[in-house]
Chain A
Amino acid sequence: MAKVVLKLGDDISTDLIYPGRYMATVLPGETPQFAFADLTEFNAKLKAKQIPPGSFVVGGKNFGCGSSREQAVSTLKGHDLVIVAEDFARIFLQNSINLGLTLVTAPGLEAAEGDELEVSGNRLLNRSSGKSFATLELPKARQAIMDAGGLILYTRRRLLDMLHQSAR
């Protein structure tokens, strides 16, 4: 169980999550400082480590729309945030699975800042309102990547299989 630390609307773009002017910074170890940089108060709390790991950021529809910039995922992953939304834009969703950022897809979800949420099986419980919402599974095409612990490890395993095969 953890708190909703930020409640956002529909169509949250990668420009809000990680503004373009910080795109020269690319390494996952360096991107977390710019998470939601234009939401200056929230960004300050993140940098001051006032947001506990596992906290929820709640969006509406089409979360992560816009750019393919992977910084928009590594910046959130760096703070161990969990993103809950009604649905996610394709590239953001794939990048999240590839880097191991936890996403929860919950159509019709209702939650306010400060609410306590809990993910339990395929339900999302809002402990504060007492309401519960069904969650959707991530695309089955991506299951193998999740099982491997991310795309780097998955690709490494596939690569070694390929190299060993061709060596035979």
Chain B
Amino acid sequence: MGMTVVEKILARASGRQSVRAGEVVEPRVDLAMSHENAALVINQFFEVYRDTGYEPRIWDPSRVAIIFDHRVPAESPKTASNQKKIREFVAKHAIRKFHDIRGDVGGICHQILPESGYVRPGFVVVGTDSHTTSHGALGAFSLGIGATEMASAWALGIAVNIEVPRTIKVNVTGTFLPFVGPKDLILRLIGELSAQGANFRVIEFHGETIRKMSTSGRLVICNMSVEAGATSGIVPADEETIRYLREESGVTDPVEPVLPDRDAVYEKAIGIDVSNLQPQIACPHTVDNVKPIDIVAGARVHQVVIGSCTNGRLDDLQMAAGIVRGNKVAQGTRMLVFPASGRIYQQALEQGLVADFMKAGAVVMNPGCGPCLGIHEGALGDGEVALSTTNRNFKGRMGNPNSEVYLCSPAVAAASALAGVITDPRKGG
């Protein structure tokens, strides 16, 4: 019997010939990522070592990455002190994959990892962030874990007692209509699977639409796989993966794709034809409350957010800038743009996109998680409505339980910012 991609990755990382869904394995960790919650990881790591008589030591500092993105620059003395504590730890333990608050190499962890070439096909990646599923876009098995589990990985270099997940195969065919893309695809899939439909499972993406999709788009669908509960999304590596790693991440060493066996065993298979897919909107207050845009078009929006680990990449900004260029954001609506990394911000500057946004009335913020999780900036007022390219719309997500968040693609967000109401980009404001 053949293996899925993740079964193959876990077999190799556990030193076994083969593994099956349901078996318990202890894979070695290729990359262990944290953001500001490294403050808690450090605390738990010291707890592990307490009373052992040994000096705390990370199993392999070259495999640890720490990126500041959740609250940058710090919004409070507490955050600033946590960041300071992490900097001191990073220096002491010689962690080189550290991305501080910087305009050159800073940004959101789920953009920094791929663009820095830290993730390779076949890797086992763990991250103290649920959207660590993103890195499946490069053919890695990449999953979110808690801080104590990360402390355990820092000490042991393995992910302890992992149950090999079952895999759902999703086959995507057809060509997207104009102004429709990966975000609409993944919202549609989450609507179909529900918020729990892939809990404890991997979603493996296949089909001509995926093969033609850029790595940027693959990051969108893997990023949001967790919103269906998935342990990881994964796109088996191909020529595009290698192109991305060589051209955009500067990787020069050999890259070895891991592919599923032809007779791999899947829990189920789902087919999606995107040929007639309409722009999709996730309505308050769950990500699986997905509707085609016609149902919600015309709803008033007070804040439009473009950015995040889901949709803050250059192609997202190009799409949005193309729509707002020469137009004005509606009075009574504010538009916030967060490029996903310093590198993307610079590219957007060079291409004139930042000027397009600012002339239209948008505010372009520094790279970071921004208002996505309501802890830093861009909070909503009572009764206000946000339309956002981010990944979650749970009650209170944008900092106020008395507000609503709708999720959409960059094209829908930009068109809606001009109109002040949810607007189909194909129809204009």
Residues of chain A whose beta carbon lies under 8 Å from any beta carbon of chain B:
11, 13, 15-16, 19-27, 38, 61-62, 65-71, 73, 87, 89-91, 94-95, 98-99, 139-142, 144-145, 150-152, 154-156, 158-160, 162-163
Contacts and interface: CB of A to CB of B under 8 A. Distances in A.
Interface residues of B, number: 57
A160 B298 CA distance: 62
Query: What are the 7 tightest A-B residue pairs by CB atom distance, in nearest-first order?
Result: A95-B146, A26-B40, A20-B373, A62-B196, A13-B394, A141-B163, A155-B152
A98 B200 contact: no
Nearest to A40: B401
Nearest to B157: A162
28 contacts: A13-B395, A15-B392, A15-B396, A16-B394, A20-B396, A23-B36, A23-B70, A24-B71, A24-B82, A24-B375, A26-B39, A38-B396, A38-B401, A62-B195, A62-B199, A68-B130, A70-B128, A91-B144, A140-B24, A141-B24, A145-B160, A151-B151, A151-B160, A155-B160, A156-B49, A158-B156, A159-B49, A159-B54
A145 B161 contact: yes
B149 interface: yes
B76 A67 contact: no
B395 A38 contact: yes
A73 B37 CA distance: 14
A155 B161 contact: no
A68 B144 contact: yes
A155 B47 CA distance: 10
B18 interface: no
A142 B161 contact: yes
B396 A68 contact: no
Contacts of A22: 375
A26 B82 contact: yes
B190 to A, nearest CB: 12
Contacts of A25: 78
B76 to A, nearest CB: 6
A159 B155 contact: yes
Chief secondary structure at chain B's binding surface: loop
Contacts of B397: 15, 20
Task: Please indicate which of the listed interface residues A22, A94, A150, A162 has the most CB atoms of chain B within 10 Å of its own CB.
Answer: A94
B255 interface: no
B399 A70 contact: no
Contacts of A90: 199-200, 229, 231
Contacts of B395: 13, 15-16, 38
Nearest to B40: A26
Contacts of B70: 23
B147 interface: yes
Contacts of A159: 48-49, 52, 54, 155-156
A92 B297 CA distance: 35
Interface of B: 24, 36-37, 39-40, 43-44, 47-50, 52, 54, 70-71, 75-76, 78-79, 82, 127-130, 132, 144-149, 151-152, 155-156, 160-163, 195-196, 199-200, 229, 231, 286, 288, 373-375, 392, 394-397, 399, 401
Contacts of B128: 68, 70
Given A38-B396, A160-B52, A151 B71 contact: no
Contacts of A20: 373-375, 396-397, 399
Contacts of A38: 395-396, 401
B383 to A, nearest CB: 15
A163 B196 contact: no
Task: Please indicate which of the listed interface residues B50, B130, B395 has the most CB atoms of chain A within 10 Å of its own CB.
Answer: B130
B161 A11 contact: no
Chief secondary structure at chain A's binding surface: helix
Contact of B152 (A23, A65, A99, A151): A151
Nearest to B39: A26
Nearest to A161: B156
B148 A24 contact: no
A133 B336 CA distance: 49
Contacts of A94: 145-146, 149
A19 B163 contact: no
Contacts of A16: 394-396
Contact of B195 (A11, A21, A70): A11
B369 to A, nearest CB: 9
Task: Please indicate which of the listed interface residues B127, B231, B397 has the most CB atoms of chain A within 10 Å of its own CB.
Answer: B397
Contact of B146 (A15, A91, A154, A162): A91
B230 to A, nearest CB: 9
A91 B130 contact: yes
B82 to A, nearest CB: 6
Given A91-B146, A158-B160, A163-B54, A66 B375 contact: no
B53 to A, nearest CB: 9
Nearest to B379: A21
A166 B288 CA distance: 49
A142 to B, nearest CB: 6
Contacts of A89: 196, 199, 229
A141 B421 CA distance: 49
A99 to B, nearest CB: 6
A94 B152 CA distance: 13
Nearest to A26: B40
A87 B199 contact: yes
A157 B180 CA distance: 52
B37 A26 contact: yes
A128 B407 CA distance: 42
A108 to B, nearest CB: 15
A113 B24 CA distance: 38
